Structure formats: structure tokens, C-alpha cells
Amino acid sequence: MQEQILYEKLNKRLNDLEKLPRLKENKSIESHLDEKGVSRRDFMKWATAITVMLALPGSFTPLVAKAAKLSDRLPIIWLHMAECTGCSESLLRTDAPTIDSLIFDYISLEYHETLMAAAGWQAEHNLEHAIEAYKGQYILMVEGGIPSGNSAHYLTIGGHGHTGEHSAQLASKNAAAIFAIGTCSSFGGVQAAIPNPTGAVALSKVTNKPVINVPGCPPSEKNIVGTLLHYILYGTLPALDAYNRPKWAYGRRVHDLCERRGHFDAGEFVEEFGDEGAKKGYCLYKVGCKGPYTFNNCSKNKFNSHMSWPIQAGHGCIGCSEPDFWDTMGPFEEPVANRLYSTVFKGLGADATADKIGVGLLTATGIGIAAHAAISKFKNPKDGEE
Ligand code: FSX
Ligand code: SF4
Ligand code: F3S
């Protein structure tokens, strides 16, 4: 019954969106995908995967496909602040275009500094025009940390010499929804790492409006596109965790979804890179994996056309979707016990176990079980469900 009510609600939202004019070329998504060699079958398979990812029932797949088709109805403004552009690259640079990257071609991207041809005065004019023309309707996506306050001038862009802070505030003001794409925009990221010479902050610190954070350095293309499709489907904010991350993507630890988890539970660890354990794909906890403290769905989505992800490639998770991970998760190739982890996580339980692992007090199997028990106590601080 609940499912039926939700279905009808989302369907109505999509029917209303369908009445809006296409903002770009008058071409359907089917012909757009067809030109790139993507069949309808592949498209529906993709829609099924996104439906699962958004934790919707399988019967909602046609709605997700329809939301993708209507992604050219909502104008999008994408701003770059202080960052490496890895977030855009995550979406766009694949050896063969994925459906996610093709959706990105298809959406009505009114302004994106990396992709547009305009530069200088022209670019500035395009931004002002997009903000004015689509007042109250556009989705704002921002990549990068934002040098702010007295340090705002460290990021000065364009002919008028506006600061990034100014542009982000201006664009936030009339946006219908705001997404911080990547850890830099969500939490400050590498720019904001101690000593933070440019005074970089998260997008949420320069606007009073709600910001949905889509962290990861970079985030996967699926989490970016999924967040967009979720908004197209619902028109409202998704359920968020303590750090304003959508729960459908960041509701579980990397550790909970990890393919090496069986080895962790069995106490089978890589002791140093290149050893026998590494060859056997053992758990990377002792060589610094921060998967137990990191909330993200990387093992499901992977990167590079779903090819691999950090732990599959043989390196531990460095906690890239967590606030202040540059300052709190390092050294990246050492377990947390090698420093005063409790100063960061305030005695939530993980440090005591890490100590035991570090000095080898337990037998191999015991390590896994005890570590598991203690790490399970580590909770997303404001997330009552975990
Ligand atoms: Fe930051 Fe995105 Fe890391 Fe880079 O731009 S999240 S540095 S991957 O690209 O913002
Ligand atoms: Fe996977 Fe890391 Fe957890 Fe080991 S500690 S199971 S490698 S997430
Ligand atoms: Fe980042 Fe860890 Fe995933 S480093 S990409 S959150 S595995």
C-alpha cells in the first residue's frame, strides 16, 4: 500500500516535469543513447541497477528510466572552486562512455567551467545569465572547497575578479536544490587540511540553504548521477545522515560491504604490502585500511566503468568520504592504533581494538572476532539506525 502511494506520488511529479519544455536540443534520450551505441536493453538494465541503488522496489524501474529521460528539463549550474576536477573527471573520463556519463551529456548543463567553450568575460556573463534566466529552478552543483572570509581572494575567478565565495553565494541564493559534489565541497577536503592556508571551507559554510553532500575524493559517478535522479524523482531532499550525505549511498561502512570482510572476520591480514597475504587478497586493516570508519558504497559502485575500487586494487581505504580525512585518517598506510586515534573518535571503541591488533596480543582468529565486535560499536554519530 505504502509502495503504491509512493509510486503514484513520484509518477505525478514526473508527469508534471514532463510538461516543462526541453531546455536543450529536441532529441529524446533514446536517440541520444542510440547514437552512442547504447541499446534500450542496456538502458533498462542501468535503470534497474539505479533503482536498487536508490533502495526503491524493482517495480519502480520504469520511473527511474523516466526520471533519466526528463533530466533535460531541469537546468543545472556546476561551479568549480578549489579542487583538482577529479569529481568531474570521475563522471566523464571513462574509456567507453557509460550511461552515467551519457546522462551527463544529456542533462541541461547551463554552466560548467571545464566543459564550456566560453572563457573570461563571456563565461562570467553566461553564469549571470543562467542564474537570472532560471531563478528558483536550477540545480546547483559545486565542486571544490571555498576559500572564505579574509582569505576568499585566494580563489579569484574571471574578468570582474569575483571570489569563488561570491560566486557560490550568488548561485546558491536562487537555486532550487544544492549539491556539494566531492569531499572538498562537502567538507573542505585537501584545501582545508591543517594548516588550511587559504581558509577553505565546505559549501554549507557559505550558504544558509540546505546542501546535500556527495563526498568522496572523488565520489563515484553513480553517487553523483543517483543524487540527481533522486531529486528529479522526489523533488525533495533524500534521507540524510549526520553529515548531510544521502543515506542510500553513505548509510553503511565500506567495511560492511567489503569483499575482503571474510578475511577480516577470520583474522587473515596483509602484514605488509607484497606479502603472501596480499597475494591471497587478505584484509588490509593492518596496512592502514580505514574502511571500518568510513561510510560509502564504493565496493558496490566501483570506479572506471565499474572496473575496480581502492581495496580491490590492493590498497586500504583512506577514508576519503569522511570530514577532515586528510587530518584524521592518516598515516594512510598504518592502522589507527599507531597514533592517538581516541583523540579524534573520542573513545568510541575502535582505538582499543586497534591497539591490540597493532601489538599482536590476540591469536589470529581472536583478532578478527574482537576487532569486529569493537568496530561494530563505531557508529555514525547521529545516525540512529546504525
Ligand atoms: Fe576534491 Fe573534486 Fe578530491 Fe579532486 O573537484 S574531492 S580534490 S578528487 O576533484 O573536489
Ligand atoms: Fe575490507 Fe578494510 Fe574492512 Fe579489511 S578493514 S574488511 S580491507 S574494509
Ligand atoms: Fe574513498 Fe575509501 Fe571508497 S578511500 S573511494 S571511501 S574505498
Pocket of ligand 3 contains residue 254 by CB under 6 Å:
yes
Ligand 1 pocket mutation, candidates 83, 112, 186, criterion most atoms within 8 A of CB: 83
pLDDT in tens, 296-342: 999 998 988 788 999 999 999 999 999 999 999 989 999 886 665 44
Q: How far is the CA of 144 from the centre of ligand 1 (A)?
A: 6
pLDDT in tens, 89-101: 888 766 666 788 8
* b/e code 160-178 from CB counts within 10 Å (16+ = b): eebbbbbbbbebbebbebb
- The predicted model scores a pTM of 0.87
| Contacting residues for 208 by C-beta, under 8 A, at least 6 apart | none
Tell me whether the omega of the peptide bond preceding residue 210 falls within 30 degrees of 0, making it cis: no
32 is in an annotated binding site: no
Tell me, yes or no, if the two domains 74-250 and 255-375 fold the same way.
Answer: no
Q: Which pLDDT value is given to residue 361? A: 28
Q: Which pLDDT value is given to residue 37? A: 87
Q: How far is the CA of 53 from the centre of ligand 2 (A)?
A: 21
Ligand with an atom nearest the CA of residue 218: 1
153 is in an annotated binding site: no
| Contacting residues for 79 by C-beta, under 8 A, at least 6 apart | 111, 113, 140, 141, 142, 143, 144, 164, 167, 168, 171
Q: Who has greater pLDDT, 371 or 29?
A: 29
The protein residue whose alpha carbon is closest to atom 2 in ligand 3 is 317
Q: Who has greater pLDDT, 358 or 244?
A: 244
Q: Which pLDDT value is given to residue 120? A: 76
283 is in an annotated binding site: yes
- When the pLDDT of each residue in the chain is averaged and rounded to a whole number, the result is 86
184 is in an annotated binding site: yes
Task: State whether CATH 3.40.50.700 applies to domain 74-250.
Answer: yes
129 is in an annotated binding site: no
pLDDT in tens, 61-83: 999 999 999 998 899 999 999 99
In this structure, what are the phi and psi dihedrals at residue 183, rounded to the nearest 5 degrees? -65, -35
Task: State whether CATH 4.10.480.10 applies to domain 255-375.
Answer: yes
CA distance 151 to 166: 12
pLDDT band at 367 (very low <50, low <70, confident <90, very high): very low
pLDDT in tens, 134-193: 999 999 999 999 999 999 999 998 878 899 999 999 999 999 999 999 999 999 999 999
Q: Who has greater pLDDT, 44 or 384?
A: 44
Q: Where are the domains of the chain?
A: 74-250, 255-375
Ligand 3 pocket mutation, candidates 260, 298, 302, 380, criterion most atoms within 8 A of CB: 298
Q: How far is the CA of 49 from the centre of ligand 2 (A)?
A: 24
pLDDT in tens, 246-299: 999 999 999 999 999 999 999 999 999 999 999 999 999 999 999 999 999 999
Pocket of ligand 1 contains residue 192 by CB under 6 Å:
no
Question: Which atom of ligand 3 is closest in space to residue 218's alpha carbon?
Answer: 5
The protein residue whose alpha carbon is closest to atom 1 in ligand 1 is 184
The stretch 204-215 carries a mean pLDDT of 98
Q: What is the torsional sign of CA 104, 105, 107, 109?
A: positive
Low-confidence winner among 5-9, 73-77, 222-226, 341-345 (lowest mean pLDDT)? 341-345
125 is in an annotated binding site: no
The stretch 356-375 carries a mean pLDDT of 38
Q: Nine-digit cell at 57?
A: 522496489
pLDDT band at 108 (very low <50, low <70, confident <90, very high): confident
